Amino acid sequence: MRKITIGMLVFPRFQLLDIAGPSDAFGEVKVLSRGECEYELFIVGTTRGPVQSSSGLTVMPDRTIFDPCPHFDTLIIPGGLGVFNILEDTTIVDWIAKQGEECRRVSAICNGVFALGAAGMINGRTVTTHWMDVPRLGSMFKRASIEPDRIFVKDGHIYTTAGVTAGIDLSLVFIEEDFGKKMALDVAKYLVVYLRRTGGQSQFSPLLEIQASGDSVVATLQDYVMANLEARHSLESLAERLDMSPRNLTRVFKRECGMSPMSYVNDARIDVARRYLESTDLSYREIAQRCGMESADALRRIFVRRLNITPQEYRQRFRSADQAVQAA
């Protein structure tokens, strides 16, 4: 029997699904292989006694960082609100750094990557995290290269993932590496999840997160764009509306919003199109027209380029329950 040992670090207010999801996936390997392959899991606490997750449920660690531990082939650091409380705890950070030198693989789920950053393990590496934490990660660890739209990133022996359910994606990657694609596919089928999810995090995150202050001319322009998405906007037409030069408008817009005016227009069109796909039965052609796109084909091209999925796939995944029932 081939056995692989995995350590999962837990700290107060960790995200429970980050260890529960992978644990279930790893557990199915032994069942599906009829005992020929197995993951041996150890929960390692940063404190003695039960550790409470962010949901309020507790787990009892098998070890603590203060106890002797077996050699871990793989280490998994979950995310959770509590991760920010351990970044300056040298005992925990040193333990993670030491494991990083000894483990074949070190991984972080969601914002667990901040713990790897504190341990100096993401300098010069490409990583990802939950889309909401991307700006904070970039400001704290400037030597890391961040892929904000990726569900999963592998750089050397460091593995990082996006939001909480991405821990299951990560476990399937490990299972495929260790025991082959067929085993990973069998586990994915049993769990009723995709072996590889299409698209990136942008299919979940809003594109328009930054709005200019209410008394700004840029805010006035944003309101105009949102109310007139069907219009054929250009940088020149937007600048003319504010009696500004295109160059000056671009400078002011980037200063207040961090993006160009036309990037804002394009993101606005995609976000509004997403809302139509989620909540209406409008045709793709009608949605395209309402959002200022030339045709249903243009809508499709923009979605694939920006979100890595088609409008049809997006509607199937995210349409509201009421709309799905009506369609059925």
Least Cα distance to 163 among 125, 133, 193, 119 occurs for 133
* DSSP state at residue 143: T
> In whole angstroms, what is the distance from residue 4 CA to residue 6 CA?
7
From first CA to last CA, the distance across the chain in angstroms is 48
The C-alpha angle 79, 84, 90, rounded to 5 degrees, equals 105
Residue among 134, 106, 109 nearest 120 (CA)? 106
Task: Select which of 37, 110, 257, 291 is catalytic.
Answer: 110
Residues with Cβ within 8 Å of residue 15, at least 6 apart in sequence:
53, 54, 78, 79, 80, 109, 110, 164
CA distances from 161 to 100, 114, 134, 190, 264 (A): 17, 12, 12, 22, 27
Q: Which residues pair with 9 in a beta bridge?
A: 44
Residue 164 amino acid letter:
V
Q: Which two tokens stand for residue 94?
A: 């040193």
Residue 139: HSE in the Cβ half-sphere, 13 Å Cα cutoff: 4
Would you list the DSSP string of 97-122?
HHHHHH-SEEEE-GGGHHHHHHTT-S
Can 110 be counted among the known catalytic residues? yes
Catalytic positions, written as ranges: 110
